Amino acid sequence: MKELELKYGCNPNQKPSRIFMSDGSELPIEVLMGKPGYINFLDAFNGWQLVKELKEATGLPAATSFKHVSPAGAAVGLPLDETLRKIYWVDDEELSPLACAYARARGADRMSSFGDFIALSDVCDKDTAKLIRREVSDGVIAPGFTDEALELLAQKKKGNYNVIRIDESYVPAELERKQVYGITFEQGRQNLKIDDALLSNIVTENKNMPKEAVIDLKIALITLKYTQSNSVCFAKGGQAIGIGAGQQSRVHCTRLAGSKADNWFLRQCPKVLELPFKDDIKRPDRDNAIDVYIGEEYEDLLAEGAWQRVFTEKPAVFTREEKRAWLDKMTDVALGSDAFFPFSDNIDRAKKSGVKYIAQPGGSVRDDLVIESCNKYGMSMAFTGIRLFHH
């Protein structure tokens, strides 16, 4: 297949629309089910690059959950403990390493992942397909699918769920092009390899960068390669736990990513795990209720009686002091930034979310103040010397 006609572009009025190879060669994909659209393919191809690189960098199966051309989550296939199984709603499932990767990628920010497009580094197996089947999702791209996985995925959307197989041996051209306002832009592909050497220039007094932190920093930086800039990513335990994308101010990226990381950790608090949900409340509604419960506006909802829709009894307020006490237990978080920190306020905000390891390009006129702030908190920070803007 040399081209594929699409229903429309980003919006229904943008017609005609298609994907094709400019050199006339065959497309490196096969649509096994469904009719993926323009945005679906943007998410699929960006997501595939991300998981392919994560697998190469860590040696572990990888998954990402994409929404609107930025990842909502990304992870590698490390086992889940009992708490993570509960907050990701998979405590009743058998999980292969690839399924663990997707559970992590989907579970870090479940509200943002609602209606996602999935990318998998490995052949989609039965365990992973079972997780995908039960979630609200637009489609999945992978290098292959087992027969059992395809049978499960065919049960979604009356057989119209988007399933794309990609040729994992495909290598894109070194030059890439796109058009804006009828004008063609050309640049070399972003082929920077995220490896141990990129994290070797540690500029802080604390030079300790354990293996687990290096893996998390690789996850953060590879995630940033395919996130709309400006962007900052928090990672811990083999997964992104907070992504701040597309902000004009660096500190707003850090605040957004930090707030998502905080929510991820607050969901693990026993007070949240023990919320008295009604039996018939579905997972997306539980996710929404938890987000409200740990938010600042929950006291207002308690006063209005809205809790009666989802809970069997009125939960006690999760006070600001209780939240802060729980968040103070979050430690050893890794943080990646796609460009340098211009001010030390980013480090101050990162500290509130348990950040201990940082990777950023460096190169700011205030690098000395940023390093000084890291030293004050005992953080270890590497200068990569490489910016990772993605537009």
Task: State the catalytic residues.
Answer: 67-68, 230, 391
* Angle in degrees, CA 33, 39, 45, rounded to 5: 75
Query: Whole-angstrom Cα distance, residue 53 to residue 58?
Result: 9
CA distance 62 to 55: 6
Identity at 286, one-letter amino acid code: R
DSSP conformational letter for 311: B
Strands 183-188 and 175-180: antiparallel
> Alpha carbon 148 to chain centroid distance?
27
Q: Are 63 and 101 in contact (CB under 8 A)?
A: yes
Backbone angles phi and psi of 27, in degrees to 5: -65, 140
Biggest CA pair distance of the chain: 63
Q: How far apart are CA 226 and CA 207, in angstroms?
A: 28
235 with 258: CB under 8 angstroms? no
Tell me the C-alpha to C-alpha distance, in Å, between residue 316 and each of 140, 164, 291. 40, 46, 15
Nearest CA-CA partner of 142 in 120, 117, 163, 167: 120
- Residue 389 phi/psi, 5-degree rounding, is -60, 145
3-state secondary structure (DSSP) of residue 15: coil
